[in-house]
Structure 1
Amino acid sequence: MKRFLSLLVVAILAGAFTLGAYKLWMEPETASVAITDTRPNAGFIPVNYTSTATSSSTNADFTVAAEKTVNAVVHVKQYGISRQPRNLMEYFRNGGNAGAGEKRIQGAGSGVIITEDGYIVTNNHVIDGATELEVTLNNNKSYKAEVIGTSAQSDIALIKIDADTKLSYIPFGDSNAAKIGEWVLAVGNPFNLTSTVTAGIISAKSRDLNEMDNNAQSFIQTDAAINPGNSGGALVNIHGELIGINTAITSQTGSYVGYAFAVPSNNARKIVEDILEFGDVQRGIIGIRGGTINPKTMEQYEISVSQGVLVANVDEDSGAKKAGLKEGDVIKEIDGLPIRKFSDLTGYVNSKRPKDVISVKVLRKNKELTLPVTLSKYEIQEYNIKDVGVEVSNPNKEYLKKFNLDHGVVISKALSSRMQRYNLEGLIISEIDGKKVSNVLQVKQIIESKYPEDDITISLIDRNGEKREFVFQN
Structure 2
Amino acid sequence: MKKVGLTLLTAFVGGAMALGTYKIFEKKNADDMTFEERQKVYFTSNPMTVSSAGSVDFTQAAAAVTPAVVYIRTTYSSQQGNGGGSSPFDDMFGDFFGQRMRPRGPQQASGSGVIISPDGYIVTNNHVVEKADKITVNLNDHRTFQAKVVGTDPSTDLALIKISGNDLPIVKLGNSDDAKVGEWVLAVGNPFNLNSTVTAGIVSAKGRNIGIIGSENNDEDSNPFGMRQRQSQQPRLNKAIESFIQTDAAINPGNSGGALVNTKGELIGINAAIASHTGSYEGYGFAIPINLAKKVLNDIKQFGSVKRGYIGVSFRELNDDAAKDLGISRNTGLYVSELVDGGGAEAAGVRKGDIITKVEGNPVYESSDLQERVGRLQPGDKINITVLRDGSEKNLTVTLKGEAAAPKSAAVSKSAEELFNKLGASFQPLTKAQKAKFRVNNGVVVTQVRPGRLFYETDIPVGSIITNINKQPINSIADIDKAITNLRNGNLIITGIYPDGTSFNNMFQVQ
Q: In which range does the TM-score fall when normalised by the shorter chain?
A: 0.5 to 0.7
Counterpart selection for 1:245 from 264, 270, 293: 270
> Given the superposition, is the C-alpha separation of residues 377 and 448 from structure 1 closer, same or farther in structure 2, using an over 3 Å criterion?
farther
In structure 1, the residue matched to 2:96 is none
1:276 aligns with 2:301: yes
1:147 aligns with 2:149: yes
With 201-210 and 297-306 compared, the bigger mean Cα shift is at: 297-306
In structure 2, the residue matched to 1:206 is 207
Counterpart selection for 2:72 from 49, 69, 76: 76
Q: Distance in 1 between matches of 2:148 and 2:238?
A: 32
Post-superposition Cα deviations, 1:96-123, rounded to whole Å, max 9, x if no partner, equal: xxxxx98333211100011111110001
1:261 aligns with 2:286: yes
Q: Distance in 1 between matches of 2:290 and 2:183?
A: 15
* Matched residue type, 2:60: V
Is the 1:223–1:259 contact (alpha carbons within 8 Å) kept by the matching residues of 2? yes
In structure 1, the residue matched to 2:253 is 228
Post-superposition Cα deviations, 1:265-313, rounded to whole Å, max 9, x if no partner, equal: 1111111110112111011121111021133543566644322111111
> Given the superposition, is the C-alpha separation of residues 300 and 324 from structure 1 closer, same or farther in structure 2, using an over 3 Å criterion?
farther
In structure 1, the residue matched to 2:3 is none
Q: Distance in 2 between matches of 1:290 and 1:202?
A: 29
Deviation, structure 1 residue 74: 0.6
1:133 aligns with 2:174: no
Q: Distance in 1 between matches of 2:497 and 2:71?
A: 46
* Matched residue type, 2:65: T
Q: Distance in 2 between matches of 1:468 and 1:118?
A: 35
Q: Distance in 1 between matches of 2:182 and 2:81?
A: 48
Deviation, structure 1 residue 213: 4.0
1:175 aligns with 2:200: no
Post-superposition Cα deviations, 1:131-176, rounded to whole Å, max 9, x if no partner, equal: 222111111111121111111221111111122x412211222222
What SS does the corresponding residue of 1:197 show, helix, strand or coil?
A: strand
In structure 2, the residue matched to 1:47 is none
Counterpart selection for 1:215 from 235, 239, 255: 239
Alignment of 1:258-407 (within 5 A): 258-299=283-324, 303-378=328-403
Deviation, structure 1 residue 448: 3.8
Counterpart selection for 2:125 from 123, 126, 150: 123
Is the 2:332–2:365 contact (alpha carbons within 8 Å) kept by the matching residues of 1? yes
* Matched residue type, 1:127: V
Is the 1:457–1:469 contact (alpha carbons within 8 Å) kept by the matching residues of 2? no
In structure 2, the residue matched to 1:60 is 56
* Matched residue type, 2:179: A
Is the 1:301–1:328 contact (alpha carbons within 8 Å) kept by the matching residues of 2? no
Q: Distance in 2 between matches of 1:145 and 1:110?
A: 13
Q: Does 1 or 2 have the higher relative contact order (CA < 8 Å, sep 6+)?
A: 2
Is the 1:83–1:102 contact (alpha carbons within 8 Å) kept by the matching residues of 2? no
What SS does the corresponding residue of 2:77 show, helix, strand or coil?
A: strand
In structure 2, the residue matched to 1:111 is 113
Q: Distance in 2 between matches of 1:302 and 1:472?
A: 60
> Given the superposition, is the C-alpha separation of residues 173 and 378 from structure 1 closer, same or farther in structure 2, using an over 3 Å criterion?
farther
Q: Distance in 2 between matches of 1:234 and 1:307?
A: 33
Deviation, structure 1 residue 204: 1.7
Percent identity between matched residues is 46
Is the 1:110–1:229 contact (alpha carbons within 8 Å) kept by the matching residues of 2? yes
> Given the superposition, is the C-alpha separation of residues 446 and 76 from structure 1 closer, same or farther in structure 2, using an over 3 Å criterion?
closer
Q: Distance in 2 between matches of 1:342 and 1:214?
A: 10
Is the 2:53–2:264 contact (alpha carbons within 8 Å) kept by the matching residues of 1? no
Q: Distance in 1 between matches of 2:109 and 2:152?
A: 18
> Given the superposition, is the C-alpha separation of residues 130 and 300 from structure 1 closer, same or farther in structure 2, using an over 3 Å criterion?
closer
Alignment of 1:87-106 (within 5 A): 103-106=105-108
Deviation, structure 1 residue 225: 0.6
Deviation, structure 1 residue 317: 0.7
Is the 1:122–1:233 contact (alpha carbons within 8 Å) kept by the matching residues of 2? yes
What SS does the corresponding residue of 2:114 show, helix, strand or coil?
A: strand
> Given the superposition, is the C-alpha separation of residues 110 and 379 from structure 1 closer, same or farther in structure 2, using an over 3 Å criterion?
farther
What SS does the corresponding residue of 1:266 show, helix, strand or coil?
A: helix
Q: Distance in 1 between matches of 2:504 and 2:68?
A: 50
What SS does the corresponding residue of 1:355 show, helix, strand or coil?
A: coil
Deviation, structure 1 residue 81: 2.6
* Matched residue type, 2:239: N
What SS does the corresponding residue of 1:377 show, helix, strand or coil?
A: coil
In structure 1, the residue matched to 2:414 is none
Deviation, structure 1 residue 320: 0.6
Q: Distance in 1 between matches of 2:381 and 2:80?
A: 47
TM-score (norm 2): 0.61
Deviation, structure 1 residue 237: 1.2
With 310-319 and 289-298 compared, the bigger mean Cα shift is at: 289-298
* Matched residue type, 2:238: N
Alignment of 1:35-50 (within 5 A): none
Q: Distance in 1 between matches of 2:306 and 2:409?
A: 21
Is the 1:81–1:102 contact (alpha carbons within 8 Å) kept by the matching residues of 2? no
What SS does the corresponding residue of 2:64 show, helix, strand or coil?
A: helix
* Matched residue type, 1:193: L
Is the 2:311–2:344 contact (alpha carbons within 8 Å) kept by the matching residues of 1? yes
Q: Distance in 2 between matches of 1:191 and 1:299?
A: 47
In structure 1, the residue matched to 2:422 is none
Deviation, structure 1 residue 60: 2.1
Post-superposition Cα deviations, 1:357-392, rounded to whole Å, max 9, x if no partner, equal: 11112222221211111111246787699xxxxxxx
